[in-house]
Chain A
Amino acid sequence: MNFETMDKIKITERVKAIKERLIDSVPQIESDRARLITESYKMTENLPVVKRRSAAFRHILENLPVTIREDELIVGSATKKSRSCQTFPEYSFEWLEDEFETIDKRSADPFFISEEDKQVLREAHKYWKGKTNSDLATSLMAPETLKAIEHNVFTTGNYFYNGVGHLSVQYGKVLEIGYEGIKKEAQEKLEKLDVACSYYPARRSFLEAVIESCEAAITYAQRYADLAEREAQSASGKRREELLKIAANCRNVPRNGAQSFYEACQSFWFVQLLIQTEGSGHSISPGRFDQYMYPYFKADYESGKITLEEAQELVDCVWLKLNDFVKVRDAASAEGFAGYSLFQNLIVGGQDKGGNDSTNELSFMCLNATLHIMLPQPSLSIRVHNGSPDELLMMAGIVTRTGVGLPAYYNDEVIIPAMLSRGVSVEDARNYCIIGCVEPQSPGKTDGWHDAAFFNMLRPLELVFSNGKSKGEQISIKTGEVETLDTYEKFFNAYKAQTEYMIKLMVNSDNAIDKAHALRTPLPYLSSMVEDCIGKAKSVQEGGAVYNFTGPQGFGVANMADALYAMKTLVYDQKKYTLKEVKQALEANFSAECGLSTEELTVKIAKELNDNNVDLNEEIIREIYKNVKEQAVGGDKRWAELLEDINAVSKFGNDDDVVDEFAREAAYVYTRPMEQYRNPRGGMYQAGLYPVSANVPLGAQTGATPDGRLAYMPIADGVSPGAGRDVNGPTAAANSVAKIDHGIASNGTLFNMKFHPMALKGEEGILNFVSLIRGYFDRKGMHVQFNVVSRDTLRDAQLHPENYKNLVVRVAGYSALFTTLSRSLQDDIINRTEQLGF
């Protein structure tokens, strides 16, 4: 199989038509799920929580409206309208109600919501006051943790407001034995339970909840079979045949094992849809689709039951479904996860459990489906190992070249050993997939709690300069006034100490939220498809999975590397400035965009003095004015000089061993302490180094930093060099990035590269592109992804969004429609260094 074969398999008219309708639809919020779960919860006050969950799941699936969209071959929609969403008040709801009047106009991910739906939601929300996950999580956190969150050192908002998600279930198992099979397993386990065991009540409740959830899923599919039959009666010709086929499919799957590739696709989709109906967690990742679907394709293809073209159309239809539903987040999170993305990561290629290359026809078809659909979902990934066939990588290069921002490339040779070091068995590690943005896990047996927090690595540095204070308040430990940090070692150790203290608080926060999920929102349906929940008779949220991790991600490695190196050079080696002067310069934002005039500053200082009971008179005020003016003038020049000097110092991203070593050390400051902590599910913490797109909004909360970054500007994304700092081309940037220890950041690292399409021209361009990836991976890079698009295209898209409705760009870990991103994120993408390959 290669590109030529795939090139002959064109997109069908049906797929084109469904896609057009999808793109044209306006995302909406619907209220059915919120109403139904509230009804159910009111009726189940007496049940244990896990059974309240399964009862609610059943109630939802028995009553949620069922819809078959025009021309569909794969059915199942959680919403009446395309590209819309249901809500999950049990996790949190206040933010949504607060945004009712603005959500259709906000800059990132706007949603339409009707007055009727608002009313239904308001009514439902009344029940949930004080009963949500986030309410409980808050009550479980230490006071100092809440303080650190308030001051934006890190954010654990993702799982605080939402479900956890972030896993890949045993899709293959559902395809093979269906929910009847899983139900049977749970029943057998239930029968074997020892009634005298102290865990009996909890285990029995859980297993009964699993059984009820499986039944609910079966019922839901039967409702689709009924609907398809009804619609077939009024349809004619080919569509009638199709609807009858759909009905037959839904009668059989996911109830039983799939009998064909078509049924396997339908069964897969029900699993994918229902996990995201039970809980609100995103990054429910299909994982190794080309592996678990392959037996069904192979059997049908070899027996002549299906052609390559027919199989491709089904895969294309699955891709469309993956784009058909979205998720509403609060305004702040929407900035951080912009693009309506659900991060359903699907990966192709790689190795089997025995270490052999596992590329097959479906691997190519998945890449081809993305070429056909050209939409952000699924978040397509590709595994690269030393034995990966070049044909597959070239096909991937062809997809990259379109500018769709997919696939992301992952290095088996780094990820597998990294997972082994975390106690994953070699077979399970070889079977890894990617979750969400960039997080590796062994599918179907892991609760990775990836994406557990965004940790802004620059904030502890600010705390060094302020001796632990933020906005005048002591929120962290004291590491000494900057004047006392008279050696680089002292300075660096202060940064380490501030970081380590904040990591501790972050762990506290994550563990509190983790516990809240176990107590309030266990997910029995999800758990029925994660090994070894049935075996241990407990939910994923209580530690039922084989492997348990918590993976909070740090970002700002490049800024920290550049900051530390600049301070070492200018303050400690050349002694050109004192740290105190640097502190003043940072406070003045290098005088680059002094927000206040001399007059305004005078008023401000006078007011502060007044607040501190200093008697003010005209003379004092005149004195203040004089000082401010002199300082501003004196400072102005010197701070601008400092900024120039900082910019002249070598920067991370140019293959300079000296400064790159600082990046390695800066990354260790964050990644190493993580290994000592444990989560409530009995697993360990593992660090990630990636920001999704939070580097922009969280940068907007961060003052100027000594790497020359001005206040409120974006922070470098992932392990990529600072914006515009890498000036020696893609190989130099890649070499620098590869010097960071990626293995210890086993929750994933993210390296963004931007390419002009010219660098990928022709077969030669693609071959060189593949070599660039291979070369970076030889150096032990973990992940790389590409934006292939010209600056001018993006500028024009800002001016004329209507012409670029389907322009997809990769934004740190996922693809999004460019026009749906906020202006600041659009600007960030445009400003990244363009790697011109001529």
Chain B
Amino acid sequence: MDIGKTKGRIFDIQKYSIHDGPGIRTIVFLKGCALRCRWCCNPESQSFDVQTMNTKNGSKLVGQDVTAEEVIEKVKKDINYYRRSGGGLTLSGGEMLLQPDFALALLMLSKRNGINTAVESTGFAPYETIEKLLPYIDTYLLDIKHINGEKHKEFTTKDNALILENAVKIARDAKKCIVRVPTIPGFNDTEEEIRAIAEFARNEMHVEEINLLPYHRLGRDKYDGLGREYLMGDVLPPDEEKMERLRKVCEAVGLKAKIGG
């Protein structure tokens, strides 16, 4: 079968993204995720169903069924910016691992067109699924949210055992893997918690790089739009000073650490 015809469900394509992998990138957001992180800034990404979301400019339908070919045509439009900057396509979500055939098609088509690829992923899927994609991924941006399984489950609804197990394998098998930590006040923003993640990344995964992504509230209105409660309440984003302190903790472990993507 022509892989270009592979169907999938996305909810957005965002150009000139410069914080999700190297260079200038186009992010394709796939719909559906297994986790329900409380701080998620894309709540409309979580359900696989096409949803109606109210926005300031009226209600809109979130979720669109497309073929891989259609998506790649749009991604190709910025190809010269990728070449100039070392950028390319980033698959994000939701979780691209929940639509593995579609993700594979997008990644393979990108490679055929000489486009650099990255994924942003929770790593929450059977490893056989992940393994098939790896040859076509240049940079795997893997989220590690917490080392403590119970706390992980409390805030994301899923246990982290599979994620941590996969993390070691991904780091071993991927061309390049960068660990990303959404840094969430009241969840994982103590020095101990961040150090635990950093040590896991350094000592178990043997990766070189870690990104700390400070919590932000830009997705809050979308919860209202979906008629959902925003569980983070009035939690404030961590200040720069604190982020810098946490960054130093990661550096002390021996990682190249950066605030933001």
Contacts and interface: CB of A to CB of B under 8 A. Distances in A.
Contacts of A379: none
Given A731-B16, A732-B16, A835-B16, 19 more contacts: A655-B77, A729-B15, A729-B16, A731-B24, A731-B78, A759-B18, A764-B18, A765-B18, A767-B85, A768-B18, A770-B84, A771-B23, A771-B81, A774-B84, A775-B24, A775-B85, A778-B80, A779-B80, A838-B17
A655 B26 CA distance: 14
A837 B16 contact: yes
B15 A728 contact: yes
A737 to B, nearest CB: 14
Contact of B81 (A759, A775, A835, A838): A775
A771 B16 contact: no
Contacts of B77: 655, 731-732, 735
A307 B128 CA distance: 65
A371 to B, nearest CB: 23
Report the contact-size class of chain B (Cβ under 8 Å from the partner): 10 to 19
Contacts of B56: none
B21 to A, nearest CB: 11
B19 A732 contact: no
Contacts of B83: 775
B59 to A, nearest CB: 15
Interface in B1-60: 14-19, 23-24
B87 interface: yes
A101 to B, nearest CB: 47
B120 to A, nearest CB: 14
Interface in B66-111: 77-78, 80-81, 83-85, 87
Contacts of B18: 759, 764-765, 768, 837-838
A735 B26 CA distance: 14
B24 A732 contact: no
9 contacts: A655-B77, A731-B78, A731-B81, A764-B18, A765-B18, A768-B18, A771-B87, A772-B85, A778-B80
Nearest to B13: A728
Contacts of B16: 729-732, 772, 835, 837
A764 B78 CA distance: 18
Name, among A730, A767, A770, A771, the residue most crowded by chain B CB atoms within 10 Å (CB to CB). Answer: A771
B78 A771 contact: no
A770 B84 CA distance: 9
Given A732-B15, A767-B85, A768-B85, A775 B78 contact: yes
Interface string A751-777: 000000001000011011011101100
Nearest to B26: A731
A838 B80 CA distance: 20
Contacts of B84: 770-772, 774-775, 778
Contacts of B80: 775, 778-779
B81 A729 contact: no
Given A731-B78, A731-B81, A735-B77, A768 B24 contact: yes
Interface string B230-248: 0000000000000000000
Interface in A783-838: 835, 837-838
A735 B77 CA distance: 8
Contacts of B19: 837-838
Nearest to A779: B80
B171 to A, nearest CB: 23
Nearest to A655: B77
Nearest to A773: B84
B14 A729 contact: yes
A269 to B, nearest CB: 39
Contacts of A759: 18
A163 to B, nearest CB: 42
B84 to A, nearest CB: 4
Contacts of A838: 17-19
Nearest to B261: A838
A735 B87 CA distance: 17
Nearest to B20: A838
Interface string B121-143: 00000000000000000000000
Contacts of A779: 80
A764 B22 CA distance: 9
Select the residue from A731, A759, A764 with max chain B CB neighbours within 10 A. Answer: A731
Contacts of B24: 731, 768, 771-772, 775
Contacts of A767: 23, 85
Contacts of A730: 15-16
Contacts of B87: 768, 771
Contacts of B81: 731, 771-772, 775
Contacts of A728: 15
